[in-house]
Amino acid sequence: MSLAPLTTADAFSLRAEFPYFANPPLNGGVPVAYLDSAATSQRPLRVLDTERSFLERDNAAVHRGTSQAVGTATERFESARAAVADFVGAATAEQIVWAEGATDALNIVALGIGEANSGLGVAGSDRFALGTGDEILVTEAEHHANLIPWQRLAAKTGATFKYIPVDQHGLWSLDAAREALNSRTKIFAFTHVSNVTGFEAPVAELVELARAVGAVTVLDACQSVPHIAVNFEALGVDFAAFSGHKALGPNGIGVLYGRSEMLDALPPARTGGSAITKVTMESAQFMPPPLRFEAGTQPVSQVVGLGEAVGFLSDIGMDRSAAREHELVTRLVEGVLDTPGLRLLGPQGTEGRVALAAVSVDGLHAHDVGQYLDEQGVLVRVGHHCAQPLHRALGMASSTRASVHVTTTEEEIDRFLDALRGAQRYFKTEVAS
């Protein structure tokens, strides 16, 4: 039985569990409206307390030694892996690899594929071999973290780098992907939810198209995992990455998900430490996944904190929070569309949109808009959002982005819209309705 969406009253109850919202910073005596969760989310007290208590009571070198302390620390470390695996629908905990962030996770895949012919001794790695005539496909809407690694891999291997262009709203389609994918496509990397347009890609259908031509799929799930129910196993993606700090968790921790057969065949991007089984002066043999990819000392307390963060989101219910956030985004988008002089990026409505909206204000640079909003106590993201090609395709250098989370209120959305209109009046760019 599905539960009702979160209400405004629920949102205020949840806010009380976040120190940032329980005692928010003030701007001119007014609490700051935090609308920048797409960049980094605030953390509930139980996440902060979990990480702190681990450091105070259980901190030890995981997977190193036989002491009781090491055993306790390792158990908490691996329990967090299991919690994250369950949260994103991984078949086993071993499909979850810890990384420094989503950017690092995507680089683990790209750099690992680049080592496919290096002789690192990973059985089956030749399945990733690239060369002249092969193609790597992305979209023009990608965050730089899911773009630059593939550019560099193409340059290193001699493969051809291709992309699916966006339209006048910054969108691309399933039909465009179908046309771009072919027998030469070896890798197809794309984002689940765009950090600029909020567009939700039809992942399962895209994976089916990629599989039909034998292409490996790599999913940037940074903006989907914190906001909608995600099941990587059901979606069928080969690899996926997301970050902890956008999902109510700590900084400095990210997740790489991989299908077991893919992780088994992927060479490690970094080597050393506990990622090995045997080392001689001539060669090394590597651990099976996930430890193969976790060389060196791990960010243990951050891992434990992320395990608690996904537990917090699970306790709320992802379907409930997604329904609540859809209501907030509807209010946000309708307010933008009703205001002359504002250009909405992405879907021209709420269909296929998740958690955010980016706008351009006619006649104003986004940095001027952001400074005015900041003076009104409205905290948003301005700039190119690490997606310069997308903005360039839309004929702009930057935009102003507001994003929501389970703690966002209707009043904060209204303050953002009022502040945008105030910026138009202040800079005398207001358009008569």
- Convert the pLDDT of each residue in 333-357 to its tens digit: 999 999 999 999 999 999 999 999 9
pLDDT at 229: 98
pLDDT at 33: 98
Dist CA 200 CA 355 (whole Å)? 10
> Residue range 143-165: average pLDDT?
98
pLDDT at 119: 59
Q: How far is CA 77 from the centre of its chain?
A: 22
pLDDT tops 60 at residue 2: no
Q: Strand, coil or helix: what is 219? A: strand
| Residues 6+ positions from 380 with CB-CB distance below 8 Å | 35, 36, 370, 373, 400, 401, 402, 403, 416
Domain 48-314 has CATH 3.40.640.10: yes
> Residue range 115-139: average pLDDT?
89
Q: Strand, coil or helix: what is 295? A: coil
Letter string b/e over residues 134-146, b meaning 16 or more CB atoms within 10 A of that residue's CB: bbbbbbbbbbebb
Computed over every residue of the chain, the mean pLDDT equals: 96
Instruction: Report which DSSP code applies to 20.
Output: H
HEC profile of 390-406: HHHHCCCCCEEEEECCC
> Residue range 139-157: average pLDDT?
98
Q: Tokens at residue 234, please?
A: 């059901």
Considering only CA atoms, which of 192, 196, 240 is closest in space to residue 218? 240
Sole residue written with tokens 């409205």: 378
pLDDT at 78: 98
> Residue range 149-164: average pLDDT?
98
Beta strands in 108-238 (DSSP E): 135-139, 160-164, 185-191, 216-220
pTM for the whole structure: 0.97
Q: Are 132 and 123 in contact (CB under 8 A)?
A: no
Helix spans in 237-349 (H): 260-265, 300-316, 318-337
> Is it true that 8-43+317-426 and 48-314 share their CATH fold?
no
pLDDT range class, residue 121, cuts 50, 70, 90 = low
Peptide bond into 290 cis (omega under 30): yes
Q: Are 267 and 17 in contact (CB under 8 A)?
A: no
Q: What are the beta bridge partners of residue 13? A: none
Least confident window among 2-11, 106-115, 221-230, 306-315: 2-11
Q: In this structure, which topology does domain 8-43+317-426 adopt according to CATH?
A: Aspartate Aminotransferase, domain 1 (3.90.1150)
pLDDT digits 0-9 by tens, 254-300: 999 999 999 999 999 889 888 999 999 988 899 999 999 999 999 99
Sole residue written with tokens 């996770």: 105
> Residue range 130-139: average pLDDT?
97
Residue 258: CB atoms within 10 Å: 29
Percentage of the chain exceeding pLDDT 90: 92
> Residue range 109-130: average pLDDT?
88
> Residue range 420-427: average pLDDT?
98
> Residue range 378-393: average pLDDT?
98
pLDDT at 433: 61
Instruction: Report which DSSP code applies to 275.
Output: G
Q: At 88, which amino acid appears? A: V
> Residue range 124-151: average pLDDT?
97
Q: Tokens at residue 89, please?
A: 């629908």
Active site residues: 386
pLDDT at 177: 98
pLDDT digits 0-9 by tens, 172-221: 999 999 999 999 999 999 999 999 999 999 999 999 999 999 999 999 99
Residue ranges covered by each domain of the chain? 8-43+317-426, 48-314
Q: Strand, coil or helix: what is 312? A: helix
pLDDT range class, residue 1, cuts 50, 70, 90 = very low
Percentage of the chain exceeding pLDDT 70: 98
